[in-house]
Every structure is written in C-alpha cells, then in structure tokens.
Structure 1
Amino acid sequence: MSAAPTTHVTCTGLAFAWPDGTEVFDGLQLAVGLGRTGLIGLNGSGKSTLLKLIAGELTPTGGRIRTTGEIGFLPQAVTLDTALRVDEALGIAGARAALHAIEAGDASEEHFTAVGDDWDVEERAHATLDQLGLGRLGLDRTVGEMSGGECVLLALAALLLARPDVLLLDEPTNNLDLRARQRLYDAVDAWTGVLVVVSHDQELLERVDQIADLRGGEVRWYGGPLSAYEEALAQEQQAAARMVRVAEADVQRQKRELAEARLKLARRKRYGQKMAESKREPKIVMNARKRAAQESAGKHRILHEERLAEARERLDEAVEAVRDDDEVRIDLPGTVVHPGRGVLTLRELRLRYGAEVTGAYEIHGPERIALVGRNGAGKTTLLRTIAGELAPESGEALAHVPLRFLPQRLDVLDDALTVAENVARFAPEATNNQIRSRLARFLFRGARADQQAGTLSGGERFRASLAALLLAEPAPRLLLLDEPTNNLDRASVQRLTAALASYQGALIVAGHDVPFLESIGITRWLLLDGTLRDIDAEEVRGTASDEEE
C-alpha cells in the first residue's frame, strides 16, 4: 500500500532492545500518514514498544524516527495522581486560573501570557468532557473521585484539548464499560488527523482506514478495517496452505528421483564390476567407461540432491507463510470442582465505597459467573474483598476452596525475576523441570521461560501471571479474573478462551467484553449496580448499553 501524500511518522532502520539484551526491532521500516491506522499483531510483537518509541518515551538503539507536528500518547496503563483536580489533569489549570484573575480585574501581563489565544478554554473543556460522557465532572473535582475507566477518558480528553497532530492510543478501551466505549468510538470517528491505535477491540478496529500488521519485526499493510484485513488474511493463508501442499509433493517427488538416481548408479557399478571380472574389453576401455559412467551418474545424483535441497527450501518458506498461533493448554486435575460443591458464600456484604450484597449468595462448582456493571460500580472492589485483599465494611465473603485472583494491574509478578522464577514463588515444592514442563503449556518454552517479567508485553505478562496462579500450590478451584481481555491481542483472546474452556474449577470474571464472556460459557450473570442481583443473559447487552456514566 502506498503511503499517504504527507507522512507524519517515519521509522527508518529502527532498532530497539531491552537492557537484558532482548531484541524487539532490528531494521524496522514504517511510514504513517493521515488517517486512522489500526496497529495489530501478536502479543510480544512490539506494538506498545513501537508507540512508546514514536512518543519519545523510549530511545531507539539504532535507526531514526521522524515525526511531523505534536504527538499525543495515551498509554495502556493510565495513572493519574488522585490528588489532581480535573482541570490540572486536563492541562488547563494555569490558563483557567489566569482567565479567572483577568475576569476579576487583575490585568497583569503574566495572566494574558498564560491565557494566550485560548480564551474559550473552559467552554472547550466542558464540551470535550461532555463528548466523552464526563459532563457531570466539575473542573474542580479530584481524580480520586473517579473510576479507572473515567480516568482513561479524562486522559483522552486532555489529549483532545491539546489537539496534537498525531494521536497514539494503546488499548484505549481497557477498563471502559460499553457506554464509555461508545463515547471513545465516537471520538475516533470524529478524529481528522493522524491516528494510530493498538487494540484488540473488534468494533474499534472496524473504524480505522487501514490495518498495519506487525509480525516478525516487519509491518504489512492492508487497506480497510479489521473485517477487510481478516478476509485478505484468510485468502493469503489458504494460498499459503496450498503452497505447502505443493511444496510437500515436490519434496516427495525429488526424494523419489534421487532414490532412482542412486539406484541407477548402483546398477552401473555392478555392471562395470561384471565387465571387469569377465575381461571382455581391454582394461583401458573399461576404465574409460567406468570413469564416464561414474561422472554421468555422479552429476545426475548431484543434480537431484540440489533439486531436493531447493524443494525443501521452498517447503520451509511455504510453512513459514502459514501462521502458527499456538493455544494455551490447561489440563490441571487439581482444579476440578464437582458439581454442586459450594465454593463461595457472600452474606449481607457491604463493600467499601458503598456497594452491597443483600441477603446471601451461594456459588457452587463449577459455575462460570460474569460480573458486569458500569465503571465505578464496585466490581473490582468485590473481587478484592472475595480474595481477602480488602476487608468489608460489614458481612462476610467466605471461600470454601483455594482461590486465586488475577487483578487488572497484573502485579502478581516480580519484574526482577524470570517467568520460571516467578512461577517457582507460587509453587516452591515443584522442581525446575516440572515448572518448565508446565510453562510450556502456556507457550513459555526454552529461553522464553528465562525472560525477565519486566520485559514482557501486556499479553505475555497476562499469560505469565495466569500460569503463575494456575500452577500455584494448592491449585486454585476458584479463579477470579478482573477485565482479563485488557492488553490481549485477538489471537491471545482466542488462546485465553481455549484455556478457560479446559479449566475445570469455578470462575468469576468481571468485564465489559460481552462477546468474550459469552464465548467462555458463562452460566450465570450478576449485575452490580449499588446492589448485586442476578440477570438473564438476554438483559446483559441492554443493561450494559443503558449504563449510567
């Protein structure tokens, strides 16, 4: 695909490696112009790293990055100081204070300098907050009063107010409920500059103009949204599979022809030996015939060996073109929970920050429960209370089986340790061979098990965290997951779906990704909206779309 007339981001021979020597890029070429680009690729391919390099948060080890205009960057993990006021988070506190001082009669030059040409800064701020569904937030409110999803939208509002030339978004729908996601979709639709978004969100990727597929340190371009990319990729993979079959047939043919050439050579040798033994021809003639036969047969054999080598090379190239996205496999008998066994009791539970569970809720094995609700409703607080990380205001959350909790932050790993060492922390009795054998099921094979946790991509970190919890001793029979599809590419979501399909314990998943929740066989839907209550599967999408901000 040809680049847009005006290129705003250019990477030439880009190289980057982590301090431990793990190489991410070596000679990457990239040119991004006007329009909305969806950057996709397997977890660990370097998508987030590439955005950080373009944004200047990381320094390349080689090559060059050129950008035109201002860069705005929304990272995966948005962290805002809880003491900040909303206007400070938006970056308009100074201009706003100067504007108020001028309105109060203070005509100091520094106030006019602070305001510049931005006399409508407050009106623009309110309009932007309204656009993102944050209109109820006053500019004097503090970040500590907001949910995680609202903080993401606030950070996006700050970028929209700054009006950068290039906007980089890294998994922007993480932690957003369905209503908030729609607000973000609308903002993406309205963006007229350069936009590069890393996401696994199918609906968001349907709004881009082109797909950039980052794989093996190279970018391949596909025109159109995600559906057009998937159609083109399916055709490519069908063609690649056909090429593999053709190449395999060619290898077999070349093997047969080589075997036939060797058989002919052996026959000629036997014939020459018989002629020599019978002495029917002069010795000088027989030697000449022998040399000619050997040379001819040798050339024939070498020709077929070369053809076989070439056929094998073509087969290797054809196989390389076929994508092999392995699946995570969980076959842990220790996680089995027999039907009807009680795994969790919630009784008259009042959570911190106001949400509550009235009456008693009994959860049995192997139920699969989806915990849904708007941002800030208390889903994470409930999971942390069940896990024992938070004490309830009153009531009790009593687990009857071993449980493990995987939080949104994925902070169960020690960044200074390797993947294998992290798993060993949770299973101290397991041998190194046992740990590595189990990690192979989670696609950490060989040297990948020795990679430091701090260098893992978002999806790899999730996979390593899941491995650490599921391989823990004792094995968890109740697994709590908080927004598990955050930071996962589409292939990783499919891996997670397959992994959870083979998990035999009870499951509680908090999330807004309804297609994912439906794909893992949810048996019970719980809505947390001030209080906890059961809802029917048919109500889920309607309830989510009606969520209040």
Structure 2
Amino acid sequence: MPASIALSSLSWPTPDGRSLFDLDLSFGPERAGLVGRNGVGKTTLLRLIAGELRPQAGSIAVNGRVSILRQSIQVDPAETIASLFGATEALALLRHAETGEATAEELADADWTLEARMESALAQVGLDARPDMALATLSGGQATRARLAALVFAEPDFLLLDEPTNNLDREGRAAVIDLLGRWRGGAVVVSHDRELLETMDAIVELTSLGATRYGGNWSQYRKRRALELAAVARDLADAEKRVGEIDRKTQVVAERKARKDGAGQRKRAKGDMPRILMNAQKDRSEDSGGENARLAERRRSQALDAAASARERIEILQPFSILLPPTHLPAGKMVLSIDAASAGYTPEQPILRNLSFSITGPERVAVVGPNGSGKTTLLALVTGGLQPWSGSVRIFTDFAMFDQQVSLLDPSASIRDNFRRINPSSDENTCRAALARFMFRADAALQLVSALSGGQVLRAGLACVLGGPQPPPLLILDEPTNHLDIDSIEAVEAGLRAYDGALLVVSHDEAFLEAVGITRRLNLAELLS
C-alpha cells in the first residue's frame, strides 16, 4: 500500500477557544507546498501530522513513517551532527574500534559504513562537515542543512519541512531544491520561498476558510488564483446588484401597498361597504404585506450573505498595491560612496578589506554572497553602526534602515503613534490615510507593534517610512523576506515597486530581488577575494 496521509474533519483550537481550521485533506507520495498567511496554522498542521500534537477533533491517518524539520530548535552544547542522526553511540563505537580497544562483540556490532553514509547525506545538502562537529559551531543555515541531511538519512516515507530554506544562502537554497527534486517519497513543505515552490507537484493553500488544493507548481497556482479572483469579483458585483434590485422592488411594493391601503381606508370612511367585508379585506392586506416583507427580507439576507462571502474571498485573493509620495531623487545625484574601506569587529580579523563602490540616483543594488561574506557588516558600515578602520564611507541623503526586527519602530507604541513620531508634521487625517494604504484601517492602526506578526511589523515599518509626506531617498533592507508569509512578501514588494528612491538590499530571495527591480548586484565574495 503506497504511503499516504489523510486528515478527516481535523480541527485545532486557538488559545482563545476558536477553531483554527476544520480540514479534510490528503497527501500521497508527492511534493506538496503548504502556503498561507502567518498565523493560519501551517506549522501546527505539520506538528499534528507528526504526532507532536493531538487534534481537538477529527482524525489523522498516516500510512508510512514521517520525519519533521522544524523552523528552529534549542541546541545542547554537547550535541554533535551525529546526534541529529541518532548515531552518537554507534560513531563512538567506531572510534573505539579504530584505537584497537574494541572487544570481539563490539566489532561484530560495528556499522563500518555508517560514517560514509552520514557524510554522503551531508553532501546531498551541500554541507562539508564531519559527523563529530558540535552543532553549536554551525551557523543557522548550516544547522538547517545538517538537520535536513539527518531526515533524509532516516529514509522516511514523508518529509515534513517547515521553512527549510530560511537563513540559507544561495548555495544552501540550491542544495535543498536539488534534494527535493530528487526525493521520491512524499513531502509536505511549508515555505514562502517561491523558487522552492516552483518545484512542487501541488500547492495547498490554508486560509481561514479551510484548505484548497491546486495541482501544479507555484506559477500554475498563481494563474488559477487570478482566475478565481476575477470570478469572485463578478460574484460580488452580482450579489450587490441583487441587493439593490431587492431594495428597489421592496420600495415599489411598499408604495403600491400604501396607495391601495389608502384607497381602502377612504372607501371604509364613506361607509358604503359592510363592516364584515371591510375587516376581511383589511386582514388580507395585512397578511399579504407581512408575507411580502418576510420574503423580501429573506431574499435580501441571502444576497447580503453572498456579497459578504465574496468580499471575504476577495480579501484572501486580492493582491496588495499602493501609491506613494515621490522622493524626487535625481538620476545623477550621489547617494552613497564607499572608498577603500576596511572594517571588522577585531583588528586581527578584518571582514571587509579595501572595499569601494557607490550608488547614484535611484539605483536598486542587491548585496549578495554566501553566509559569512560580510553582508550584514557592510550594512552596519553604511548606517554608521560600525566605523571603518581605513578609507571612507559617506552617505549624502536621508535614509531608513529596515533590519529583520524593524527596530526603527517602538514595539510598546501603536502603529499610529509610531507614524506620528516618525512623521511629526503629519496630521491625524494624513496619518490614517497613509496607514490605510498599507491595509491598517480604523482600529487596526491602533494595534501595538509588539502584538503584530513578523509580516505585519515590516508592513507597519514601510507604512510609517514610505507613507509619510516625504519618504527618504534611500532604503536599506537586511533580509526583509525572512519569516514572512507570501502575502506579506508580496505586500512589501508592492510597496517597494511604488517607491522611486534608491535601494540597498541584502537578500538571498531571487524572486524578491526580481520583483523589486534590482538593477545591479554587488557580490562581496568576488569583490573581496
């Protein structure tokens, strides 16, 4: 019997008692991308399938073995890569045998191919590391690749992967994509990496309305979604039209009844009709009026429900787009100049050596290179967080820096108060209009920054900086798409496409760099080699 996962009427409660989802869904030996907004329950769903959580209701039937890759784990200082493989004791036995101290029984139990197989699994994810290396010595991206290698080594029927390319450089992302391309078992992959999602056999979208499966990869899913949006927009227009028609017909019926009732009252007032007949006509009129009113109200309620349902679908499907005030940055203006700069954190170990480059006018420059090549150090040098040991760094315009925590925002203040602090000349109406363009309408603008998701925080930061009367001519962004869901990434992309200033961006996300119109790449590994 082939490996499979079947979810039936599966539900899980939120902390406040609401049901996060109610799902009927199945997965076969395929690569399925699981997408949806942050907070919709993607990670929770993986943990339910893996058996780490018990469902509130419904059932999960898994035919085969599953292995799960979590977004992050706490690392014990004593743990090694071999710990991930569950091979610590077996590896120690091999070391014992190599010294000639093993007994005959131990030699008989030794797995002489173990180390070679572990190294082969590590090589499959592009990680050049020894099994006895301490996990604490690995970078975040290296640790992710080591955990993925351990999962593959265990040969499960299903891989459950939660954001497997987060924190990985280009080489690491390529290794994960290549590995999944060769994987012949089942895989359920939570990801916002559109390059990875292009390799999927199916996309499953999780929303507040449930789960919808789309056959094919990311591009095919987007085409289907665009068609759905057009269809839902037509449904909304039809429902709103029906509401208007029902209201007009109800008004006509009410006016006709009022005229008829008025004529009957005048006739009764003349006294030329028997009282019993007058009372019967009055009763029929009242019954007919009440029935007409109930029928009209029922039809109107159905039309309003259809319109509300269509609006809810549009909210899920509608891409984000905005208009921003211009920066008026001239094409020939020098924005940033770095001349023969060297810098680092310890004098014996410079990270940047004799680096020179400049940005002129509204250029869009991507800083690329493998993890550890100095990208974050460069941004610290540009923004003044790090001073050069030699050479010069000059910035000739106002700028805003968006790090991964969006630290320009005060987490204890509301979005609205942050906007007013960053844009002191803006009045309340200007503030609310700017925040509404970034989908923070009415009470949503009063949310504390500390209560927002990662995607909402970045969107709030963009709203406060780009939504003001005069956006800065230079934006600096450090891995802006890490930990964001795809809707949030596309919202950020829409904001940056509408921005007419200069960009300096550190990112490994090729789809993001293409979407924001990068015009030049600065490869630190090549410049500093």
Aligned position for 2:255: 263
Cα shift at 1:248: 3.0
Answer whether contact 2:194 2:511 (CA < 8 A) is retained: no
Distance between the aligned counterparts of 1:8 and 1:29, measured in 2?
11
Distance between the aligned counterparts of 2:524 and 2:121, measured in 1?
29
Distance between the aligned counterparts of 2:405 and 2:160, measured in 1?
21
Cα shift at 1:512: 3.0
1:73 maps onto 2:65 in alignment: no
Answer whether contact 2:381 2:393 (CA < 8 A) is retained: yes
Answer whether contact 1:177 1:374 (CA < 8 A) is retained: yes
Cα deviation per residue 1:146-177 (whole Å; 9 max; x = unaligned)? 65544432332233234445422222223434
Cα deviation per residue 1:278-337 (whole Å; 9 max; x = unaligned)? 44434443343333334334433433333233333333334334345362647366x664
Aligned position for 1:383: 379
Aligned position for 1:516: 512
Distance between the aligned counterparts of 2:468 and 2:76, measured in 1?
34
Q: 1:138 to 1:305 in 2, by over 3 A?
A: closer
Distance between the aligned counterparts of 1:60 and 1:81, measured in 2?
27
Cα shift at 1:142: 6.2
1:397 maps onto 2:390 in alignment: no
Distance between the aligned counterparts of 2:103 and 2:209, measured in 1?
55
Residue identity over aligned pairs, in percent, reads 37
Aligned position for 1:46: 41
Q: Larger deviation: 336-345 or 168-177?
A: 336-345
Q: Larger deviation: 280-289 or 251-260?
A: 280-289
The one-letter code of the counterpart of 1:281 is M
1:194 maps onto 2:186 in alignment: yes
Distance between the aligned counterparts of 1:329 and 1:185, measured in 2?
33
The one-letter code of the counterpart of 1:498 is A
Distance between the aligned counterparts of 2:69 and 2:169, measured in 1?
18
Q: 1:291 to 1:86 in 2, by over 3 A?
A: closer
- TM-score, length-scaled by structure 2: 0.81
Answer whether contact 1:45 1:217 (CA < 8 A) is retained: no
Answer whether contact 1:78 1:152 (CA < 8 A) is retained: no
Aligned position for 1:369: 365
1:17 maps onto 2:14 in alignment: yes
Secondary structure of 2:151's partner?
A: helix
Q: Larger deviation: 492-501 or 363-372?
A: 363-372
Distance between the aligned counterparts of 1:287 and 1:139, measured in 2?
97
- What number of residue pairs does the alignment pair up? 522
Distance between the aligned counterparts of 2:7 and 2:420, measured in 1?
43
Answer whether contact 1:78 1:155 (CA < 8 A) is retained: no
Distance between the aligned counterparts of 2:59 and 2:465, measured in 1?
40
Distance between the aligned counterparts of 1:419 and 1:306, measured in 2?
42
Consecutive unaligned residues in structure 1, runs of 5 or more: 534-549
Distance between the aligned counterparts of 1:294 and 1:116, measured in 2?
94
Q: 1:203-352 to 2 correspondence within 5 Å? A: 203-216=195-208, 218-322=210-314, 323-325=316-318, 327=320, 329=322, 331=324, 337-352=329-344
Cα shift at 1:499: 0.4
Aligned position for 1:124: 117
Consecutive unaligned residues in structure 2, runs of 5 or more: none
Cα shift at 1:490: 3.3
Aligned position for 1:101: 96
Question: Aligned Cα RMSD in Å?
Answer: 4.2
Answer whether contact 2:406 2:461 (CA < 8 A) is retained: yes
Cα deviation per residue 1:261-287 (whole Å; 9 max; x = unaligned)? 112202202221332344443444334
Cα shift at 1:509: 0.9
Answer whether contact 2:141 2:166 (CA < 8 A) is retained: yes
Cα shift at 1:433: 6.0
Q: 1:247 to 1:226 in 2, by over 3 A?
A: same
Secondary structure of 2:260's partner?
A: helix
- TM-score, length-scaled by structure 1: 0.79
Q: Larger deviation: 138-147 or 297-306?
A: 138-147
Answer whether contact 1:86 1:139 (CA < 8 A) is retained: yes
Cα shift at 1:39: 0.4
Cα shift at 1:508: 0.3
The one-letter code of the counterpart of 1:120 is T
Secondary structure of 1:405's partner?
A: strand
Distance between the aligned counterparts of 1:521 and 1:466, measured in 2?
17
